[in-house]
Amino acid sequence: MATNKTFYLETFGCQMNAHDSEKVIGTLRQEGYRQVETEEDAGLILYNTCSIRDKAEQKVFNRLNDYKKLHKQGKRFGVLGCVAQQEGEKIFERAPYVSLVSGSASYRKLPEMLTRLEAGESRITGLDDRQTDETFETEFTARQNPYRGYITIIEGCDKFCSYCVVPYTRGKERSRSSSSVLDEARRIADLGYTEIQLLGQNVNSYRDPEGKSSFAELLAVVGEVPGIRRVRFTTSHPRDFTRDIVEAIDRVPTLCDHVHLPIQSGSARVLKRMAREYTPEWYLERIAWIKAARRPISLSTDIIVGFPGETEDDFIQTMDLLAEVEYDCVFAFKYSARPNTPSLVMIDTVPEEEKGKRLQVLLERQREIQRANYSKQIVEILEVMIEGANAQRGQIAGRSTQNKPVNINWTQPIAPAPGSYLRVRITGAYPNSLIGEMF
């Protein structure tokens, strides 16, 4: 096999996938592989895939088709992640030049699978069923983000929302021990990182196998690691969002004042069809806890419009909830069916054109809300972590503790390094960002 011990890895999808790729890269390097920048330079070409978005699997097969000519040069292909778990061995049928198919629950077996690949095997699978108790932990994580260290504390999902493929591709919920999470947080701090983000499909569904820490307690102890200035977490599920999470944010200054809490719909009827297992009233009670905190906590959410059976009145209820909560950020999407999900058997009653109209109405209203929210911060002094620079606009870009983008007018010849902090006076606001100057 002509891998030449070089690899190219492209990642699709969410922060969980991006962090999985950091762990995959670290494992490959530990096995003697060297990462290269292009498919043409690699002996082994890997795609770490996501199946959340519409036509995700088609995008993967299109990418594989674009580069299948490289197979004739002795290069080998591997498909990792959610589409790999979803499609399984069908990938070999549609793309016979692929040699490795592995879901995320099987990444711990990568060294063994690489050995088999190097020995010349042409169809290697890592497709654990959803009942696995294993998590993917490695000390060889190759951290790619220069200013934020990610830690996965829980993998998988047991919620089975009717539209969501994650429980079938990521397996059941499996939490890491609080001791192992804390050890990794200390290692991240020792590497010079000052911001940590805890990750999970439902991060606040965390259950410590050691029985030492609740999710809120784990947040607090990670926030107390020497050298750490910011701790974020995503994504929370309303069913497991408890009041002590808000109390921890109030009590521990390093915990960022931002909560992402997906609602998906403001209609109780639609939420029931989605199998979300909460009502708008239940959700709004948790929003009330957050808004009652001593620290102003920024709120963001996910919303799906046009779910099968969603009526105009259901949509109006979503708009009413949007106005009541006044989120700082909303990720909104048109419903599209995902493979293997219960909603596939539901009749998609909302035409695509109507879905588009509803989405546009929602986004325009949210834009107004955000413009008003962001404008309230003009003249405030914020601590901003620098993430990069925009030389053409004469600005550096960063993020506040509330996860709001802040662009800072910058006239000095040397820009501050990513991961450094500035005190910034806010001088202006747009619907999606703040403008400021060094204070």
Q: Where are the domains of the chain?
A: 6-126, 293-376, 381-438
Q: Note if the pTM is more than 0.75.
A: yes
pLDDT, position 133: 84
Task: Note the pLDDT tens digit of each residue in 191-207.
Answer: 999 999 999 999 999 99
Superfamily of domain 381-438: Nucleic acid-binding proteins (2.40.50.140)
pLDDT, position 331: 97
Task: Note the pLDDT tens digit of each residue in 253-309.
Answer: 999 999 999 999 999 999 999 999 999 999 999 999 999 999 999 999 999 999 999
Average pLDDT over residues 341-348: 94
pLDDT, position 128: 78
For the cut 60, the answer to whether the pLDDT of residue 176 exceeds it is: yes
Read off the pLDDT band of 43 (50, 70, 90). Answer: very high
- Of 3.40.50.12160, 1.10.10.350, 3.90.45.10, 2.60.120.370, the CATH number of 6-126 is 3.40.50.12160
Architecture category of domain 293-376 in CATH: 2-Layer Sandwich (3.30)
Determine what percent of the chain is predicted with pLDDT higher than 70. 99
- For the chain, give the mean pLDDT: 94
Task: Note the pLDDT tens digit of each residue in 300-315.
Answer: 999 999 999 999 999 9
For the cut 80, the answer to whether the pLDDT of residue 113 exceeds it is: yes
Rounded CA-CA distance 258/400 in Å is: 10
pLDDT, position 52: 79
For the cut 80, the answer to whether the pLDDT of residue 3 exceeds it is: no
Parallel, antiparallel, or unpaired: how do β-strands 298-305 and 258-260 relate? Answer: parallel
For the cut 70, the answer to whether the pLDDT of residue 165 exceeds it is: yes
pLDDT, position 2: 44
For the cut 90, the answer to whether the pLDDT of residue 58 exceeds it is: no
pLDDT, position 134: 82
For the cut 90, the answer to whether the pLDDT of residue 57 exceeds it is: no
